[in-house]
Amino acid sequence: MTNTPLKLLCRQVQEIAAQAGHFIRTEAGKVAPSDIQMKHHNNLVSYVDTTSEKMLVEALAKLLPEAGFLTEENTVAQNQNATLQWVIDPLDGTTNFLYQLPSYAVSVALLQHGRPVLGVVYEVNRSECFWAVKDHGAFLNQTPIYTSKVGQLPDALIGTGFPYYDFELIDAYTDILKTLMRNTKGIRRFGAAAVDLCYVACGRFDAFYEHSLHPWDVAAGSLIVQEAGGVISDFSGGNNYLFGRQIIASAPALYPRFLPLFSDIV
């Protein structure tokens, strides 16, 4: 697919993501209210998002000139029909960043024929780089990572994201929350889906779910979960999680007990 081996390409992407993360870190606490725009309801953006994206696009275009782009902030022409495609979230967790709350991250994935083959998520606050190449395992910095072995809901810590602009499923979503509140160790909502997925991959969460997500939120993290041994699906148990705006990520032993919770909203 490319003259550059994927593992070498992934190391280069890690360096590029870390450079963007360094820029984001230097801007933390410096963004004035006048620098913040509302893309749509409760969806914020600043020059930090757009500058980070331009940095990533420029560097990645040099690495793989034949690849297209799908990016959150539309700073480059989108090419969703390319055989190879970079999918970029230049700052996942923008609201956290603007309010100086952890966590937030740079997320970069490379798709081949619409499926991830490389994923890098650089969590800025802790300088943690999660990465994976298809069929080569998942890593946190240079240490291999694996999903948890939890298989029962009462033993599980769950991550999620609450609806903040798309409230179509809010009643069903609330019902699931009630079930999880009563039957798990707890629920966490950190506000950065790419990071949440990586936390499933390394066993910090036993499962994660969210709806109204975009490909740039999940492309890298979903591959990292799978390469760590986890299960990824949409709410119906299918494979439409990249573009279907809903995702479940789970430790493999827990998944058969977690998925049925979503039967009423598919």
Question: How does pLDDT run across 170-194, given as a tens digit for each residue?
Answer: 888 899 999 999 999 999 999 999 9
What pLDDT shows up at residue 43?
Answer: 59
Instruction: Say if CB 148 and CB 203 are below 8 A apart.
Output: yes
Domains along the chain with CATH numbers: 6-144 (3.30.540.10), 153-265 (3.40.190.80)
- Whether pLDDT at 42 is above 50: no
Range ranked top by mean pLDDT from 2-6, 125-129, 211-215: 125-129
3 state DSSP class of 153 = helix
State the maximum Cα–Cα separation within the chain, in Å, rounded to a whole number: 52
Q: By the 8 A CB rule, do 71 and 90 touch?
A: yes
Q: Is the pLDDT of residue 39 over 90?
A: no
Region class of 244: left (phi > 0), else alpha (psi between -120 and 50), else beta: alpha
Whole-number pLDDT of residue 32: 78
DSSP state, 229? T
Is residue 188 within 8 Å of 218, Cβ to Cβ? Answer: no
29-195-176 Cα angle (round to 5): 115
Would you say residue 95 has pLDDT above 70?
Answer: yes
**Does position 266 have pLDDT exceeding 70, yes or no?**
no
- Grouping H, G, I as helix, E, B as strand and the rest as coil, residue 108 is strand
Answer for the pair 82, 67: CB distance below 8 angstroms, yes or no. yes
Rounded average pLDDT over 117-134 = 98
What is the per-residue DSSP string for 203-251? TS-SEEEEES--HHHHHHHHHHHHHTT-EEE-TTSSSTTSSSSEEEEE-
Q: How confident is the model at residue 76 (pLDDT cuts 50, 70, 90)?
A: confident
**pLDDT the model gives residue 78:** 72
pLDDT value of position 170? 84
| Lookup result for tokens 């058969």 | 256
Residue showing tokens 């707890």: 186
Q: How far is CA 89 from the centre of its chain?
A: 8
Q: Cα–Cα distance between 217 and 9 in angstroms, integer?
A: 21
For residue 110, is pLDDT > 80?
Answer: yes
Query: Is residue 134 over pLDDT 90?
Result: yes
Confidence of residue 119 (pLDDT cuts 50, 70, 90): very high
3-state DSSP assignment of residue 126: coil
What percent of the chain shows pLDDT beyond 90?
Answer: 80
